[in-house]
A and B are shown apart, each in its own frame.
Chain A
Amino acid sequence: MNYVFPNEMHVTWTVMIVLYPYITGLVAGAFIVSSLYHVFGKQELKPIARFSLASAFVFLLFATLPLLMHLGRPDRAFNIMITPHFTSAMAGFGYIYSSYLILVALEIWFVMRSDFIVRARQQGPLAWLCRDLILFNTEDTPGTREADHRIVKFLAGLGIPLACTLHGYVGFLFGSIKANPWWATPLMFVIFIFSAIVSGISVLIFHYFVVCRINRWKVDAECVKSLGRYLWGFMMVAVALELMELLSLAYEQTEATDVLGHLIRTKLFVSYVILQFMLCSLVPFLMLGITALFRLKDRTTYLLIWLSACLLLLQVLLMRWNVVIGGQLVSKSMRGFTDYFPGIWEKEGLITAAVIFTMPFVLLYVFHRFVSLFPDVKKNQPPLTEV
């Protein structure tokens, strides 16, 4: 028997709300990779430190776009900052997002100040822009670089808790909804943070290989292998947390256990059991484990790490889908399920989602044309004929 409350026939949070935590997750993960180099001195990650920071920045710029597309009244979006209602977790969004954006922008500015100065000394409109960006201060000495480095280290250190706050907050938004048994778990915000780190590392690996392939650069073996090990570790924690949540749900045998069990066995069987856990968690777990524990040829290692990164990118997207959409499929009547199929051309449809997700990559390319995101590769490693 299938009964849903009449107002539940329309799913309120659509694919845009799937995309929003996915993008903020990429931000948080990419930022943490850059901080591993800047704060914790992981030198092997230096080749992608700039790239990861720039990735975090461009994804952050577009993180609010899905929300604006979703809001019924986007013209009132700033009410969330002008008239915040602090009993709501969502009221903190504007402040958390803005402070994080400012921090990442500042960090990028200090990291790339020397490059801006070099560009500012050239001719043309971009030089004018760079002169404005550096606030007409062209002093670039070992002393100023050392000062910039210290500030970057401080900002990167401050950014780690802020990145966790930004994404943990998104998880908390879901985990604190007691009316929805699929969401209401205190583990939700921890799961979101770890899955964010997984997706962030994955997108960097995926993108780094693609960029190296296109430019025919040599892949930095130490950097990629190190990223692979980090990815393996973080994905294990993320998946273990999700499985623990599932286990408690099954073991506690609450009122919601039956209906959620039915949800997993029917509506979410393909996206949750088959795709998220079997294909996109188990397979990368094995592949990354092989690369971490066994000595393989570099090309084989790269292939396995890249494939794992692709699958884990998909895994986190599926996780967001299964949480956001899956939770809304269960009726609060506990007697049935509704359905959701995203439209293709509608305002909150698949084309809009694809365009929004593509925009950060385009901006990253523009960014790279403006200031090199891989300075070491260009200087030290000439293009090779083979990756």
Chain B
Amino acid sequence: MSVLAFAAIALAGAVVATLVRGRRHAGTLVGFAAVIVALGSATVIRADDPLQLGGGALGGDAYLRLVLSLCLGGGLLVLIVARLATWPPSAPGVLLGGAAGIGLALGLAGAPAALLAAGAATGAAATLALASPAAPSRVRALMRELRGAATSTVIGVIAAAIVPATSGVGRVAEPAAASLVLVGMALVMAHRFGAIPLHARVSRLADVAPSAALPVLGAWLPAAWGLIIIGWAPSALGPYASGLGAERGLIVALALLTLLFGTLAALVQDEVEHVVAYTIVADAGLALLALAALDPAARDAARGWLLVFAATRTALIGWTIAFRAAFDTGRLRDTGGWLRRAPALGVALAGILVAAVGWPGLLAWDSRLAVLQSATAGPALLLGYAGSLGTGLAICRMLGVGAGRPSAAVAGAPGELPRLPARSEPGIGSAGTGGSVPAGGLATARAIMGRIRVRISVAGQDARPALELNRVPLRAFAVLMLAGLACLVAVGAFGIEAAARLPGLAALPPVAGG
């Protein structure tokens, strides 16, 4: 299947899911069905020749298939967790619309077209997530998102346009222009990921956006921006790398500052959503380091690391939804000792910790180290290395809080053990199932069909109270699956390392000439 077909399916799903979001049951069914269909179509995206469209090209590869499959797969699990906690009416539409935009942005040849698509995807996803129901805080957040997406697109498109003008055939290269381009692209990266001092956007988004929409808005869309820019930079700015020492030093300094202060901020936050938001802020430093390297090897490592980043943040967001639903609060100071009431959530968080940090030999560890080594050396490398463990430290802190004495909120919370509903009255089920089977073939078939119908009805009646009683263990199970998915990505399953070595279509120059 081509990327265009996937985008059409996902966009159609987003429209339908958004139209029916006001109806709780129909919205749930349609939303989940649309995400499953889109996920299925993402897994069969072919890595074939790009589709030539009006002088440009749109194509898919193994890496794009991985990005979309992980985005939709992780997003589906987060939707399940959120549905078992509260009803997130806009979340399926955000997930589908965001995935369609990411597919188009990463599938388009040339950085300008890709950046325009990423800007459109960011604006559309933010609008779907924040426009309804209307509230002053959401209006402000949407305003901030649209302003950020538009200005990032503008800076990126102009910066990408400067490079052909300075390095085209028969023109004298302008190192000064190249430095402007690098700084502009770094600004875009910093804003999209929320690097310090542009971090307020991520924190406010975590406050007001529906939790189930946060994986797309906070992790996958920034990752798509990063993939476009990091994929484009080595080929476009690599030839000027030796003359860009000061600019690259500035970006490295900003990256180190972000790694350290982002980690510190994550360690002092009280709300679990804010902790996750500031781990995203901290990891913006690594994305900036990958850009500053201007090195194809760092680009390949960053393409692997960005998948680990997005998968672990998706899992963390799913964990925060389950955590808040379990204890009716997200404040760490009110949830001391939470591990005793929610050991499965603890196991999941430990799994996410392993995925986020990794160990030598695994993709998560090696790709992070490769990015650090390509952009820094000496004390800066040591500083960056320490800062890159910030997400792990923040998770350890949450686990440490869970190991303390149980608070009142924790003591009164339901446990994670499955519970069975009380047995239903026997009369309902036995009415159609008892008695002897009538003679005759047709009558026998009718009787069997009748029994099956009755049994399904009884099972449905039994399942509903069982589901209501077991929301907590089901949520924990879904979060465990999220953590497992993050661990698989961290170990480099699904052929991530081989796929990440392909430069992607955004690295190709745009076709000029009209």
A associates with B: no
Residues of A within 8 A of B (CB): none
